[in-house]
């Protein structure tokens, strides 16, 4: 199965996160809209520019130059100190949001992540998910990201570096020659600055030049690194997303609908799909949930939610959906037009802590076996290989099931 990879990169992270924090604390100025920089100690001539606004960039200010030089170029520049506590706070918020899409996340740096979406698309396209993530980050967290869409980490990373800010770019194998080969060789991922002049001396000036070079000559001159450079230039990267599995405190998923829905039966269909994804992730972690929460957002952007306790901790799709459906019926009022629906489970416990009563045991074992069979099929043939009855019976045009994770 071909990998489905996203690379999420925060636009101008340090300055953007400082701006968001200042606005939350009552600032009337968005420093992203004025000549501003994030820097070290400005009392020292050696303090450097860590990040700059677009207005500062227009003044000729460059990242990594001294603050002294920046002030010469723009005497009225506003300077703000770096604060890694703030950066970590917003980095963690981004990570938490991304966890709603996949458990396989590699935090490549404080402001960028790789996501392996291979088994988490649920009949959606990778591009749709990228757009959805970009919009949610902007609306819910207050800053913007670029998202690269590809079938491996290298191409996803390269794609996210295309035109900025607040953009989604694809870079599939068939797009390499058009979108990547005309770029200067210095823009190839993981290519050291010392290597560029050596390639220039070999008349290799673009990524396309490198891709069409004799790999044996490159290996002779640069060793294994020469082979890797040639592979990268041709879009070849077999590395996996390196993620650290950790037990989540809660598991949830939501979907912004492509068109508003005012039919509770159709919402129940979507809720079943969400329950299946949430419970599948619970079982992968050997966790059980005690609480279910359902969220609705109307076409007027009014949010409402209900939470309910389960009779006993469970990872059963049937039981989580049943409680979710009950909560949905309490929440939904006739005539409501819904643009988003979400399902979340909390108060998680380890599976070993489960204690079944005599009366519940047989039914639980039967449901557990069914879930296990379905999970095994999904892991073997892909998440979308099997779906539960009822989920796929929506009338054509009612909702695009590609919008479900």
- Give the catalytic positions in this structure: 112
Backbone φ, ψ for residue 28 (5° rounding)? -95, -5
Cα–Cα distance measured from residue 235 to residue 216, given in angstroms and rounded to the nearest whole number: 18
Neighbours of 319 (CB within 10 A): 21
Of 101, 83, 32, 69, nearest to 383 by C-alpha is 101
Burial 58-86 (b: 16+ CB within 10 A, else e): ebebebebbbeebbeebeebebbeeeeee
Inter-residue contact 27 to 13 (CB < 8 Å): no
Cα–Cα distance measured from residue 255 to residue 400, given in angstroms and rounded to the nearest whole number: 11
Q: Which residues contact 167 (CB under 8 A, 6 or more apart)?
A: 134, 146, 147
Residue 200 region, left (φ>0) first, then alpha (ψ -120 to 50), else beta? alpha
Inter-residue contact 316 to 364 (CB < 8 Å): yes
Structure-block tokens of residue 285: 């972690």
Q: Which residues, listed in sequence order, are joined to residue 276 by a DSSP beta bridge?
A: none
């Amino acid at each position: 199965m071909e990998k489905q990879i996203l690379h999420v990169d925060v636009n101008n992270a340090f300055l953007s996160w400082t701006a968001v924090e200042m606005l939350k604390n009552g600032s009337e100025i968005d420093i992203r809209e004025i000549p501003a920089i994030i820097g070290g100690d400005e009392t020292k001539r050696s303090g450097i520019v860590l990040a700059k606004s677009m207005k500062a960039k227009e003044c000729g200010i460059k990242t990594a130059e001294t603050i002294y030089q920046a002030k010469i170029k723009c005497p009225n520049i506003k300077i703000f100190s770096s604060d890694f506590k703030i950066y970590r706070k917003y980095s963690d918020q981004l990570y938490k949001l991304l966890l709603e899409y996949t458990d396989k996340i590699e935090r490549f740096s404080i402001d960028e992540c790789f996501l392996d979406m291979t088994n988490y698309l649920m009949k959606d396209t990778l591009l749709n998910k990228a757009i959805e993530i970009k919009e949610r980050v902007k609306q819910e967290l207050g800053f913007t990201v670029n998202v690269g869409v590809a079938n491996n980490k290298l191409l996803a990373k390269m794609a996210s570096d295309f035109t900025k800010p607040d953009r989604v770019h694809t870079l599939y194998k068939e797009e390499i020659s058009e979108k990547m080969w005309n770029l200067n060789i210095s823009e190839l991922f993981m290519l050291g600055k010392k290597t560029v002049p050596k390639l220039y001396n070999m008349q290799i000036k673009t990524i396309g030049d490198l891709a069409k070079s004799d790999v044996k000559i490159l290996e002779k001159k640069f060793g294994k690194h020469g082979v890797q450079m040639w592979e990268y230039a041709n879009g070849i990267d077999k590395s996996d997303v390196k993620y650290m599995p950790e037990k989540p405190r809660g598991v949830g998923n939501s979907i912004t609908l492509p068109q508003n829905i005012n039919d509770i039966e159709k919402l129940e269909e979507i809720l079943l799909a969400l329950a299946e994804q949430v419970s599948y992730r619970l079982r992968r972690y050997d966790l059980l949930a005690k609480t279910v929460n359902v969220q609705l957002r109307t076409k007027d952007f009014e949010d409402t939610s209900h939470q309910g306790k389960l009779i006993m901790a469970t990872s059963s799709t049937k039981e989580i959906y049943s409680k979710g459906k009950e909560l949905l019926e309490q929440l939904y009022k006739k005539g409501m037009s819904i643009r988003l629906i979400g399902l979340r489970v909390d108060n998680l416990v380890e599976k070993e802590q489960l204690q079944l009563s005599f009366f519940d045991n047989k039914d639980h074992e039967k449901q557990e076996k069914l879930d296990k069979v379905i999970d095994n099929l999904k892991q073997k043939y892909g998440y979308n290989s099997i779906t539960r009855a009822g989920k796929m019976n929506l009338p054509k045009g009612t909702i695009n099931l590609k919008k479900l994770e």
